[in-house]
Amino acid sequence: MEPMLLIYTRADPAVGHGHAVRALALAEAARRRGVTVRFAVDDLTAAVLRGYGLPAAELGPPTTAQWVIRDLPGGSDAAAVAAERAAGSRVLLIDDHGPARCHATWNSDAMLTPARAAKLPHPTEVGSLYGLAYVPLRIEVARYVGHAVPGRGQRLLIALGGGFAPELPTTLLTALANAGLTGECQLLLPGPAADPALPAAARRLRVTPVWGVSDVGARLAQADLVITKLGITLLEALAVGVGALLLEPGPSHLQVATALAEHYPSLPVEEMGCVDPAAIERLAQRAVTLLAQPERLARWGAQGRALVDGGGATRLVEVLLGP
């Protein structure tokens, strides 16, 4: 068996790039330990990873490796994980809530609380790496950990990501304008704007919508407040040092966000609920109110940095590789 780390992950238009980009961060942490890394991915994911700078030499077919990380949307095949363990591999599963959990060496989920974990398949001999200490930040964002200084202005960053109706950005910008937003506003989109009414709504707030940005860390570091949903952007915002208002695409997101807030009383976020006209109006009014409270925004920034310190990828790799 080769002393190698084999990483399974996937990126495509339906699931986004979140799993793949944090896999790159885990790979970098392993390289710092002197470990050879290979990615076992499909052609589409390989193209995405090359776009992020992954060397072609690290893309290859599956092999028998000493260490395996599986970060796959939808989870991994339980039989495949069992076979890897039987062959002697140490296997780390990330955000996997299916039966494969019973065969891994370690399970990790940064947003999984003990109460939720107790409801999932989980034999006692499998290790648990749960909590915000295990957030693997993407490499670009990790450079900006702790760089935000919220409360110095009224700078709002909107990064809702996918899962919402195409007209939501337009509706949200309109609500913010009606609520009296006067500060700087940035709107990040997961893809080209699909709503023809968006440009007019953006002009009311002097906003230029952008999509496909690679400098999310720098933009987060310039924000006083972020509007997003439960997900990687929220965790990145906390690490950079800025709090957030959350709007969720559905009940499952809301349930996880609520459990996370209950487990971390100092979590610097306010949940606005699942998307509907009333929630959007509440969010817009709350954003304008908070942007006028610099001391609270500064306190939120410090709380976020204390919860997500940027060392999650290193911690995961150190446990997987062992001493």
Q: Please report, for the chain, the start and end positions of each structural domain, with discontinuous segments joined by +.
A: 2-137+310-321, 142-307
CB contact at 8 A, 210 and 186: yes
Predicted confidence (pLDDT) at residue 60 exceeds the cutoff of 90: no
Q: What is the pLDDT of residue 194?
A: 82
The per-residue pLDDT of the chain, averaged, comes to 93
Q: What is the pLDDT of residue 161?
A: 85
Query: Span 27-37, mean pLDDT?
Result: 95
Predicted confidence (pLDDT) at residue 214 exceeds the cutoff of 80: no
99: left (phi over 0), alpha (psi -120 to 50) or beta: alpha
User: CA-to-CA distance for 96 and 71, rounded, in angstroms?
Assistant: 8
Return the CATH fold of 142-307.
Answer: Rossmann fold (3.40.50)
Cα of first residue to Cα of last residue in the chain, in angstroms, is 19
For 176-213, what is each residue's pLDDT tens digit?
999 999 999 999 998 787 899 999 999 999 998 998 77
Return the CATH fold of 2-137+310-321.
Answer: Rossmann fold (3.40.50)
Give the percent of the chain with pLDDT over 90.
Answer: 79
Predicted confidence (pLDDT) at residue 12 exceeds the cutoff of 90: no
Angle at 69 between CA 66 and CA 72, to 5 degrees: 150
Whether 2-137+310-321 and 142-307 share one fold: the answer is yes
Q: What is the pLDDT of residue 116?
A: 85
Q: What is the pLDDT of residue 123?
A: 73
Q: What is the pLDDT of residue 25?
A: 95
User: CA-to-CA distance for 189 and 242, rounded, in angstroms?
Assistant: 19
User: CA-to-CA distance for 231 and 109, rounded, in angstroms?
Assistant: 12
